Amino acid sequence: MYYTARNGFFLDSSTIIANVTHGEYFLDKTIFNYLEDFGMMGIVTPIVIREVRGVIGGKYKEKEKKLEELLNSSIIYVEDCPVSEVKSRLPAINDIYDKARKEFEEYTGRILDSRNKMKRKKQKALQKNIAYKMLKDKLVDNPAERPDRVILAQASYLKDTKYENMYLISRDTHFCPIEDSGMERFMGIISDKIFKATGVICIRAEEIAEKMYKKEYETIKTCPENL
């Protein structure tokens, strides 16, 4: 294991698409502005670029020029990861999502499968809960697809070989905690397991931006609880 940089900021497709299509501003700056202010670059990989180009080229053709300007700017750094290294990490990545799904299903199943009349109110409340619906969608009905898992495996490889701390900046709840309250026990079920298994910190752009705005960049810790 070796490190060539302290912090790496891996941008997934959801973060780039949001900024290219409508701009995500945090106190009048985008995440790219904050990275530039601190002399940092956003990391992408070829699979992220393909995903972004596919979406922008399909739904937002008028934004293609803006996207290419961003990808060719000095704020973006393209990292390539050996296919063999990424493949070797995929079983561990799959295990993260399998364990999260199993834990979620076992807990909610005990409530939903119960025939106890006393629990019927709890069952109805759970079924209406927005957080429950979001988690069920992300963990059970529409789990992370292979491209997302490959991106996470790439972030894991870069964390192990080039960066002391690796932040995966995303808007996707396949990586990051859900924002809706109501099921606090499972809010960070995926991101916590990702961190424990790979050391990769999944975080939303606004969280990193807030740290940078407050000049707290150097206080960022490697433990999600401290973010």
**Number of structural domains in the chain:** 1
pTM for the model: 0.83
Give the length of the chain.
227
Residue 96 lies in a domain: yes
Residue 107 lies in a domain: yes
C-alpha dist (Å) from residue 137 to 83, 143, 172, 173, 180: 29, 7, 12, 10, 14
Residue 134 lies in a domain: yes
C-alpha dist (Å) from residue 27 to 95, 109, 202, 208, 212: 38, 42, 22, 12, 11
Distance, C-alpha 221 to centroid of its chain: 17
Residue 225 lies in a domain: no
Residue 76 lies in a domain: yes
Residue 221 lies in a domain: no
Angle between helix 83-112 and 120-128 (nearest 10): 140
CB burial of 73-87 (b: ≥16 within 10 Å; e: otherwise) equals eebbeebebeeeebe
Residue 226 lies in a domain: no
CATH number of the domain where residue 182 is located: 3.40.50.1010
Residue 166 lies in a domain: yes
Note down pLDDT in tens along the chain; length 227 residues: 444 568 899 999 999 999 999 877 777 788 888 888 888 899 999 999 999 999 999 989 999 999 999 999 999 999 999 999 999 999 999 999 999 999 888 877 766 665 555 566 666 666 666 777 888 888 889 999 999 999 999 999 999 999 989 999 998 888 988 765 555 666 678 899 999 999 999 998 888 888 777 765 554 444 444 44
Q: Could you tell me the residue range of the domain that residue 71 belongs to?
A: 5-216
